[in-house]
Each structure stands twice: as C-alpha cells, then as structure tokens.
Amino acid sequence: MKRRILFVLIAVVVCVGAAMCFTSYVPVTDTAGIADVLVLRVHAGDTSEDITKQADTDAIRELLPQIRARRLPSYHRAISADCYQIQVVYGGKTVCFSLGEPSYAYEVTESMSPWVHKLSGGEKLLALLDEQ
C-alpha cells in the first residue's frame, strides 16, 4: 500500500514537472515594470540602427505582455536575417526580444549564452514595427 502511494506521488510530480516544461510563459507580465525600451533594426546580423525615436514605445509597452515564450530553451547561434530587437529593462533585468524569423527572447547577462526561448504572439508587434 505504501509503495502504491509512493508511485502515485512520483507520477504526479513527474506529470506536473512535464506540464510546466511544455507550457509557455509571459516574459514581461505588466507594463508598469518596464523601466526602459530600446528598439533596434538589425540588418542580416551584421549592423543595427537605433530606431527608438521613430518607434511608438507606448504601443510597444502595451503589446509586450501579449508575447509568450517557451519554457524550454533552444540553442541559437547568431542572427541570420533582418529583424527587430527590443531591449527592455524589466524588474531590474535586461530582456531582449528578437522579432523576425525566428523570434526569440533571452536575458542579457555578462556571459551571453546561446540558449534562447522561442516566442509566439509577436505578430502585432512585428507589424507595428514594420509600419515605422
């Protein structure tokens, strides 16, 4: 009887852990916690231009909580196509959103890791940036 209870508890813990790994999360949950916004247009991973002054940062702040990220990170080496990068200071940390193909997010740290979290739900934000 004790073994059955133990197996059931282990199964529950494994299922909950697996469910947490495969569900997505919101990297920026509220607009009030965003301290700073920097918007860059990156050209083929080589050069970038700061377009923060041309971008509607208020609209960007409103759309960021709609973006979801996978919990499990994936390996990504470099930016290979044109994209937009949005860097926000949120909760004392710098979070970078790369919107394009592929779209992903990562936390900016001193030891930059090639592990990123793939994004979904950034279509409205990408369309907003393309208009400007």
DSSP 14: H
Residue 73 is given by DSSP the state -
CB atoms within 10 A of CB 8: 10
CA-to-CA distance for 60 and 73, rounded, in angstroms?
A: 24
Tens-digit pLDDT profile for residues 12-49? 777 666 666 667 788 888 888 888 899 988 887 678 88
CA–centroid distance for 86 within its chain: 10
pLDDT for residue 42: 86
Over residues 80-85, mean pLDDT = 80
Flag whether pLDDT at 79 surpasses 80: no
89-132 tens-digit pLDDT: 988 888 888 888 888 888 877 666 678 888 888 888 888 888 87
Given the DSSP bridges, would you call strands 34-43 and 83-90 parallel, antiparallel or unpaired? antiparallel
The answer to whether residue 56 scores a pLDDT higher than 70 is yes
Give the DSSP per-residue string, 20-43: HHHSEE-SS--GGGEEEEEEEEEE
Distance between CA atoms of 12 and 4, rounded to whole angstroms?
A: 12
pLDDT of 6 strictly over 80: no
| pLDDT band of 78, cuts 50, 70, 90 | low
